[in-house]
Structure 1
């Protein structure tokens, strides 16, 4: 039975409808949308509140420097790729990275996927024109289809429910892999040994040898590997489509507070973080741990106002700031923001997204990023927090478990001409499997240096 207090909180969640909601599709059939939203309001939750509360605790630890967040996955998931092999490959990459980072940080790694819900993306324009034909822009599989036809590009509310169904299947696969032995530490380390067989990664051999010795030492000491066969793994996505997110709100039966059951962790994007906008208002009213992307136009006062709106009680782990400055701005823009929050604000967990601020167009016309730029932004992130005396709490990257060719460089030296070999993304370029692991080894070195200098 819903209490009067529950009804009041749920009613407050609809306040966003009175505010400007950016990056929303124009649904052509209002009744169809209403029917879909009503149906979504009755489905089973994708996550339970106890899991979101656990994640809040883990993110609080990351904010204090007692853990480190690794969040990775596709820029935009597609329905067609939501099958076990692709999901397994992404999880495998994240788990492999986590082993390397655990060694570098000498502390727990909070593992989180951009998956089971990342089916919509903000776009710079509402329309796209080709050969004189103008159609709605592709906003992700939860809204419309990529094919450039009027039927495909027309936003379809049925795709909201289809997205929920595929997210549920993805979450089930994630749970099966993390509890069924696939995440066994020894197995993950064996995968990393295969990575080291490539001569291009010779520089990381000493770290790999140290990890191997540590695992063999634990085994020799009779460590309980039954406890090391499973891992906590959380799912996350950008809370972009407000009709979907509102429909997925459920009440926590223990605390009596509303939470968004579409994912453990939800974030507000750079394009939707207006302090008086619909996205900020909506997420201020749910109890999940939440994040906000902060780009180079963010002022220190912007960040402080967001913190006060989204986490007025100063709950540790509730709010994560995900900075996406670009390598050209990270060392000049971020310090003032961090100093302001460090001096005047309540606790936040600081995470770097080194991908979105470093997007370029290659000479051959591909949307891409340079691996060296991505790493340099991470390096700048650590430098800023070291100088200010705050804590670098995590890494947020767009990656895939497959051998795509979408990001320039890395030890295997993907060239401009090489991008065409296997460029598969429909939206943003991702690190491939090898580049992701190479990043993990380099970030592990940064973590070691930061901790040794504290």
Structure 2
């Protein structure tokens, strides 16, 4: 790869670059007090966990594992409950079981969780009936209610976000340590509302087959299969850079700097500017990082991003998440794959089949059609295979709640169904039924391509 001359990095060097999508706070003194408090708080993850994830992602780059990244579009403080968190974890564990059994390889499990409280927006203002207010940028920044007070950016929300992330992480770790993810007891992962789902029968047949296999292995070996604690990692978009800076720490007996608010920060498409503040910040942390790329990403831009973010071509360091849209992927993805191959870059390719397929209906409701999501994912496998590459992961916005936000799927949700349980404040999410259907699609697609 061509080298890029870059100046010395520090956790605050991003401040010398243009910073897009940042909240504007009207009380600087209050902001500084909050940032000082955040700097004193303990980290949410450890450097050892961060480096373990990087090793697992390197395995995925080599085709020896598959990345499953999923969770809420934007977490909300009110959803920091045991029921909501465990339901989201159940979905990921069910998908993990399907993928491990079907792909016959380990799955790297990463949640959009414990920090995904901020969202970029396409416009700074939202207008309703002639009234314009700042756009809702996630609970980390302001409130969803359409009032001047709620939409005013409040730095105290960063402290609340850190606290809710810590509570979420604590509960997830407690569940995992308590055997919640034990494959001997997949009944722990049942979602009551899924009992009548067309997908549930197929899923239960698979669970029975896995259980029979485990009991057979245990009978032969005399040992309990799958006894190790499963690894589960967190991710969020590294969007509000003032917050990310406060969580950037030196660690004893480790070189460099770690972002210890999450294992896996990513750069969104709206902030992936080569000379921008988000790229400047992320180039200096030792975490594995991801960048979203889309139809507007040029090959030269991607080459420069790779050179800046992973100049030593470190295994497991860089994941590229493409979000093209089902009608764009066959045209726009091949040049990017070619650019990566020309650079000889080690990257993990991951498909976000959600964001390129968002649409707004005539009544103003945002949704996504399951058929378009499925088509983009299928085409992603085909495009990578045709280009001599490999799709190594999937990135989904989904929830364990019984929502009706995306059209189609096993129950063929229609426009009139959306109003029944439309809960998201930002982007529409797959429910568990639709997410499981995609997991089974991935297995079928992988099996056909391998035969």
Task: Give TM-score, length-normalised by structure 1.
Answer: 0.93
1:185 aligned residue: 183
1:136 aligned residue: 134
Contact 2:90 2:190 in 1 (8 A): no
Task: Determine the C-alpha separation between the residues in 1 that align with 2:19 and 2:400.
Answer: 34
Q: 1:187 to 1:337 in 2, by over 3 A?
A: same
RMSD of the TM alignment (CA)? 2.0
Task: Determine the C-alpha separation between the residues in 2 that align with 1:442 and 1:260.
Answer: 34
Question: Is residue 35 from structure 1 mapped to residue 33 from structure 2 by the alignment?
Answer: yes
Contact 1:143 1:157 in 2 (8 A): yes
Which secondary structure does the structure 1 equivalent of 2:319 belong to? strand
2:339 aligned residue: 340
1:427 aligned residue: 426
Which secondary structure does the structure 1 equivalent of 2:32 belong to? helix
Q: Within 5 A, what are the aligned runs for 1:345-424? A: 345-424=344-423
> How much has 1:34 moved relative to structure 2?
1.0
Q: 1:197 to 1:308 in 2, by over 3 A?
A: same
Comparing 437-446 with 138-147, which one deviates more in the overlay?
437-446
Which secondary structure does the structure 2 equivalent of 1:313 belong to? coil
1:30-55: CA deviation from partner (whole Å, max 9, x where unpaired): 11111111111111000110100000
Which secondary structure does the structure 2 equivalent of 1:221 belong to? helix
Which secondary structure does the structure 2 equivalent of 1:165 belong to? helix
Comparing 330-339 with 308-317, which one deviates more in the overlay?
330-339
1:147 corresponds to which of 145, 150, 154: 145
Comparing 363-372 with 30-39, which one deviates more in the overlay?
363-372
1:202-228: CA deviation from partner (whole Å, max 9, x where unpaired): 677775564344234234335644743
Task: Determine the C-alpha separation between the residues in 2 that align with 1:13 and 1:224.
Answer: 48
> How much has 1:439 moved relative to structure 2?
1.2
1:388-408: CA deviation from partner (whole Å, max 9, x where unpaired): 222211111000001100000
Contact 2:139 2:157 in 1 (8 A): yes
Comparing 430-439 with 361-370, which one deviates more in the overlay?
361-370
1:3 aligned residue: none
Q: 1:384 to 1:221 in 2, by over 3 A?
A: same
Q: What runs of 5+ residues in structure 2 fail to find an aligned partner?
A: 1-6
Question: Is residue 175 from structure 1 mapped to residue 173 from structure 2 by the alignment?
Answer: yes
Question: Is residue 166 from structure 1 mapped to residue 203 from structure 2 by the alignment?
Answer: no
1:81 corresponds to which of 70, 79, 82: 79
2:307 aligned residue: 308
Q: 1:146 to 1:227 in 2, by over 3 A?
A: same
Task: Determine the C-alpha separation between the residues in 2 that align with 1:324 and 1:224.
Answer: 44
Q: What runs of 5+ residues in structure 1 fail to find an aligned partner?
A: 1-7
Task: Determine the C-alpha separation between the residues in 2 that align with 1:278 and 1:402.
Answer: 35
Task: Determine the C-alpha separation between the residues in 1 that align with 2:199 and 2:159.
Answer: 45
> How much has 1:191 moved relative to structure 2?
4.8
1:46 aligned residue: 44
Task: Give TM-score, length-normalised by structure 2.
Answer: 0.94
Task: Determine the C-alpha separation between the residues in 2 that align with 1:170 and 1:193.
Answer: 19
Q: 1:206 to 1:121 in 2, by over 3 A?
A: same
Comparing 356-365 with 238-247, which one deviates more in the overlay?
356-365
Task: Determine the C-alpha separation between the residues in 2 that align with 1:380 and 1:292.
Answer: 20
Q: 1:344 to 1:242 in 2, by over 3 A?
A: same
Number of residues of Structure 1 aligned to a counterpart in Structure 2? 444
> How much has 1:230 moved relative to structure 2?
2.6
